[in-house]
Amino acid sequence: MDNIKVNALMIRATDYGENDKILTLLSAELGKITAGIKGVKKAGAKLKFAAQPFCFAEYILAERGGRYTVTQASECESFYELRCDVSKLYAASSVCEVASALSYDGDDASHIFYAAVHALGQMCVGDESMELIRFLLFALGKSGYKVGLDRCTECGAPLVEAEKMRFDLDTGSFTCWDCGNGFGTGGATYNVLRAADGKSHVKEMLSKEAKKRALKLLKEYIAYKTDARCASLSEYIRLI
């Protein structure tokens, strides 16, 4: 039996038996992995923290026959503030949910791992909506589903000041209203996405409602590309 050390974020936990859990870990070293952890449902369990939502820790795993078991863990950050506010809780859960949907067993997921940890940290102290949008755009781009935010992909016209436009789910790109055949969206949604991506934008368009519409668009795009239900993201959108 070999021991492996990984830096990982706990993104999902499932009950297993009377006292155990099965964890889905997003790690810098091994990508997304599944690992059992024993006895953590018992009161006072030593490793109870390692099976909590958003736990970022150094996990020691025992490996046998391709299966992992958590034997030790040293917590780096619990992101406790995210569990004290229902909106932040669902925004953080959305990060974990989408990170899982866009990561695959055995593939390098280090960029998404580091982005997820950074997003959770920023959500503790700032606007979780913009941090969530920023993470979703980054993770989509790293997974081959980049959202095009430069110009109309058909005629090349700038879209920053356009009142309405279209978004194509197949290509992940925006077009002028008359150029494309995607579903209709507005300039405020587009500007929120550009702001989150660090591009020039119209600040007056960055309203709470525009952020909500931007999240709805990204949810539809993720579902279209991955078939992920994004239940936490749906609930977060309902809450804000």
Residues 214 and 232 in one domain: yes
Query: In which band, very low, low, confident or very high, does the pLDDT at 8 lie, cut at 50, 70 and 90?
Result: very high
pLDDT in tens, 16-34: 989 999 999 999 999 999 9
Residues 139 and 106 in one domain: yes
Q: Which two tokens stand for residue 198?
A: 């660090």
pLDDT at 104: 85
**How many Å apart are CA 104 and CA 82, to the nearest integer?**
26
E strand spans, the chain: 2-16, 20-27, 31-37, 56-64, 67-77, 164-168, 173-176, 183-186
Residues 186 and 168 in one domain: yes
In sign, the C-alpha dihedral spanning 222, 112, 91, 215 is negative
CATH number of the CATH domain containing 124: 1.20.1440.120
pLDDT at 191: 97
Average pLDDT over residues 3-28: 94
Residues 51 and 142 in one domain: no
Higher pLDDT, 192 or 17: 192
Q: Are 15 and 40 in contact (CB under 8 A)?
A: no
CATH number of the CATH domain containing 55: 2.40.50.140
pLDDT at 157: 96
Average pLDDT over residues 95-101: 96
H or E, element range at 128: helix 128-142
Residues 133 and 198 in one domain: yes
Residues 218 and 154 in one domain: yes
The residue out of 57, 77, 97 marking a domain boundary is 77
Question: Would you give the DSSP letter of residue 215?
Answer: H
Q: Which domain holds residue 28?
A: 2-77
Query: In which band, very low, low, confident or very high, does the pLDDT at 1 lie, cut at 50, 70 and 90?
Result: low
What's the number of domains the chain is made of? Answer: 2
Q: Which two tokens stand for residue 12?
A: 């999902």
pTM to 2 decimal places: 0.94
pLDDT in tens, 37-72: 999 999 889 999 999 999 999 999 999 888 999 999
Phi-psi region of 29 (alpha: psi -120 to 50; beta: other; left: phi over 0): alpha
The residue out of 55, 77, 99 marking a domain boundary is 77
Average pLDDT over residues 81-107: 94
The pLDDT mean for the chain works out to 95
